[in-house]
């Protein structure tokens, strides 16, 4: 951290906070499912709650951040639509898989970010590739469990979710070339709420009888979703897509610790080694100077005149 400038240090802090908030998703999701909540209801209610929380906070304290140009709004709508669709895939898959396996597959999204940025002209360094490898090995070790019956539909859905999440990070970085992170988070999350809300209504099914514990889990997800989007886009604005996504698998470590504290799960020695590899990948950020998306790599159509 001492080798990073102030912007990078703040971005790293935001990345850690985003990882913490995102780490709650599989825990609270499983709690909601165990209390009679279906995937589409969960993803719709938590996203709408998150968007409402942001709108109330912005109207009370950050009204100047509500202002946005039409060009930037269209960019935010595109990012939000991708992330909204991906969140449907994620929570549908989470209902079919164990939380650990779901987290493993979803944590592949840094690889997708690297591939998408490489396709758009982003240079790759050997150290960056090594950090990706460390992250993937760490994720694998952290999610080592006893073999069991595998739901291949759930696997496919989670891999697709990871791909859409990676693409949304890349698109988000391009959008942040023209709009502040707070404003982007507000309109991207609002678009997500519209997408998943329409998907829930399209099911044309009556609302299930949600128990009190399930409702608390939904509200908890709404709060962590709002905070994770604010911190994630703040990190993305300062560090770029690759830096943010490679540090992102720390959320898996957060999920396992929360499972230990709240669900009574225990980490094995192998899982602790995996967590150490993720920490090493984050530490190597100070030595990798070539992985922020340069202004010249942002597509011209995304830049303001």
pLDDT, tens digit (0-9, with 9 covering 90-100), for 183-193: 989 999 999 99
Q: Would the pLDDT of 290 be above 50? A: no
Instruction: Output the pLDDT for position 104.
Output: 72
The pTM score is 0.79
Residue 305 maps to a domain: no
Q: Hunting for tokens 């340069």 — which residue is that?
A: 294
Range of lowest pLDDT (31-40, 179-188, 254-263, 280-289): 280-289
- pLDDT (mean) for 283-288: 60
Instruction: Output the pLDDT for position 305.
Output: 37
> Within 240-292, where are the H helices?
241-247, 250-262, 269-283
- pLDDT (mean) for 277-288: 65
Q: Write down the mean pLDDT value for the chain.
A: 79
Residue 245 maps to a domain: yes
Residue 290 maps to a domain: yes
Q: Hunting for tokens 């709508």 — which residue is that?
A: 77
pLDDT per position as a tens digit, 15-51:
888 888 988 998 999 999 988 899 999 999 999 999 9
Dist CA 106 CA 103 (whole Å): 5
In total, how many domains does the chain have? 1
* Domain boundaries, position 230: 6-299
User: Is-contact 193 229, C-beta < 8 A?
Assistant: no
Residue 14 maps to a domain: yes
Q: How many CB atoms lie within 10 A of CB 78?
A: 18
User: Is-contact 246 190, C-beta < 8 A?
Assistant: no
CA 46 to chain CA centroid, Å, is: 14
Residue 304 maps to a domain: no
| CA–CA distances in Å: residue 143 to residues 15, 136, 137, 194, 256 | 21, 11, 10, 33, 9
pLDDT per position as a tens digit, 48-82:
999 999 999 999 999 999 999 998 899 999 999 99
Helix-strand-coil percent breakdown of the chain, rounded to 5?
Answer: 75, 0, 25
Dist CA 223 CA 201 (whole Å): 22
pLDDT per position as a tens digit, 96-145:
887 777 777 777 777 777 777 677 666 667 777 777 788 778 777 766 65
pLDDT per position as a tens digit, 147-157:
555 677 888 89
Instruction: Output the pLDDT for position 181.
Output: 85
Residue 1 maps to a domain: no
Residue 131 maps to a domain: yes
Exposure pattern of 89-117 as b/e (b: 16+ CB <10 Å)? bbbbbbbbbbbbbbbbbbbbbbbbbbbbb
Residue 218 maps to a domain: yes
> What is the end-to-end Cα distance of the chain in Å, rounded?
36
């Amino acid at each position: 951290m001492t080798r990073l400038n102030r912007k990078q240090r703040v971005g790293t802090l935001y990345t850690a906070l985003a990882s913490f908030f995102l780490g709650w998703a599989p825990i609270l999701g499983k709690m909601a499912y165990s209390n009679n909540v279906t995937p589409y209801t969960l993803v719709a209610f938590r996203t709408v709650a998150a968007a409402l929380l942001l709108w109330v906070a912005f109207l009370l304290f950050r009204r100047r951040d509500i202002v946005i140009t039409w060009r930037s709004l269209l960019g935010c709508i595109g990012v939000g639509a991708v992330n909204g669709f991906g969140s449907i895939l994620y929570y549908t898959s989470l209902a079919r898989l164990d939380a650990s396996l779901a987290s493993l597959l979803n944590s592949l999204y840094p690889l997708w970010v690297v591939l998408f940025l490489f396709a758009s002209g982003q240079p790759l360094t050997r150290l960056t590739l090594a950090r990706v490898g460390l992250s993937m090995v760490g994720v694998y070790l952290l999610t080592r469990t006893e073999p069991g019956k595998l739901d291949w539909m759930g696997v496919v859905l989670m891999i697709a979710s990871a791909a859409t999440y990676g693409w949304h990070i890349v698109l988000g970085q391009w959008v942040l070339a023209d709009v502040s992170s707070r404003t982007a988070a507000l309109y991207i999350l609002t678009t997500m709420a519209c997408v998943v809300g329409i998907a829930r209504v399209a099911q044309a099914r009556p609302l299930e009888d949600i128990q009190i514990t399930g409702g608390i889990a939904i509200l908890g997800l709404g709060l962590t979703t709002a905070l994770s989007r604010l911190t994630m886009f703040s990190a993305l604005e300062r560090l770029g897509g690759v830096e943010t996504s490679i540090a992102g698998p720390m959320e898996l470590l957060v999920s396992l610790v929360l499972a230990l504290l709240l669900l009574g799960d225990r980490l094995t020695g192998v899982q602790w080694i995996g967590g150490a590899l993720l920490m090493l990948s984050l530490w190597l950020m100070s030595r990798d100077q070539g992985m922020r998306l340069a202004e010249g790599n942002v597509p011209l159509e995304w830049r303001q005149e």
